[in-house]
Amino acid sequence: MSKLFYSSASPYSAKVRLSAAYLDFPVEIVVVNTNDNPPELIAANPLGKIPALLLDDGDALFDSRVITQYLNRACGNRLFPRNAERRMEAERYEALADGVTDAAIATVYERRFRPEEKVHQPWIDRQWGKVERGLDALDAAPPRLAGKPHAGHFALRSLLGYLALRFPGKWEKGRSRLSRWADRFDQRFPELKALLPSG
């Protein structure tokens, strides 16, 4: 069985776990702390980043978008539509949700890994501006929940789960559509809610 190296708080790990669960892709979950540079993770991904997927044949994949593309191929193209225009839409949603996630994590890391006197507030403000713009774009046109879900759905739900974990009450104001979208997603896929980022 394939192994997925992950952390419970990681939104990228959550996206892969949501996708794999939806696809019934069997995977063994291996919790790791990236700060410890665990040898098994480093062997799978020399960058020491998660998620990393170690396949049955010993090959390893890393970067959540690479992994979702692999899951799509392994499971009959069920994460990305075959139609070129609809596939591009799914890829766009995944990229936008991942980009907002990148910026949100950058603000967390700025505070977590720097001494307080060296935290650079203009950097945090710049990253949070990206979060705000991305969320506004997603709130204006979230992916439709009718029909089959795609990787963009799972990326967005993982992002919103991460924001709820790390920035509760800071992102929702003025974005009622996104909040309702998350609720509707959870109603449609209640079995996936436990896989969202948690700390």
121-140 and 176-188 helices, crossing angle to 10°: 70
pLDDT digits (tens, 9 = 90+) for 178-188: 999 999 999 99
pLDDT at 1: 92
Burial (0-12, 13-18, 19+ Cβ within 10 Å), 178: buried
pLDDT digits (tens, 9 = 90+) for 76-90: 999 999 999 999 999
- Class level of CATH domain 84-195: mainly alpha
CA–CA gap between residue 98 and residue 114 (Å, rounded): 24
How much of the chain exceeds pLDDT 90, in percent? 96
Question: Is residue 199 over pLDDT 90?
Answer: no
Query: Backbone phi, then psi, for 31, in 5-degree steps?
Result: -75, 130
CA–CA gap between residue 63 and residue 98 (Å, rounded): 11
Return the CA Rg of the chain: 17
For the residues 123-135, what does the mean pLDDT come to?
Answer: 97
For the residues 124-143, what does the mean pLDDT come to?
Answer: 98
pLDDT at 178: 97
DSSP state of 152: H
For the residues 3-10, what does the mean pLDDT come to?
Answer: 97
Q: pTM of the full predicted structure?
A: 0.95
Give the mean pLDDT of the chain: 96
DSSP SS3 for 30: strand
CA–CA gap between residue 19 and residue 67 (Å, rounded): 10
CA–CA gap between residue 138 and residue 93 (Å, rounded): 8
CA–CA gap between residue 183 and residue 177 (Å, rounded): 10
So where are the chain's domains?
A: 2-74, 84-195
Question: Is residue 28 over pLDDT 90?
Answer: yes
Question: Is residue 33 over pLDDT 90?
Answer: yes
pLDDT at 39: 96
For the residues 153-180, what does the mean pLDDT come to?
Answer: 96
Q: Which fold has domain 2-74?
A: Glutaredoxin (3.40.30)
pLDDT band at 23 (very low <50, low <70, confident <90, very high): very high
Burial (0-12, 13-18, 19+ Cβ within 10 Å), 129: exposed
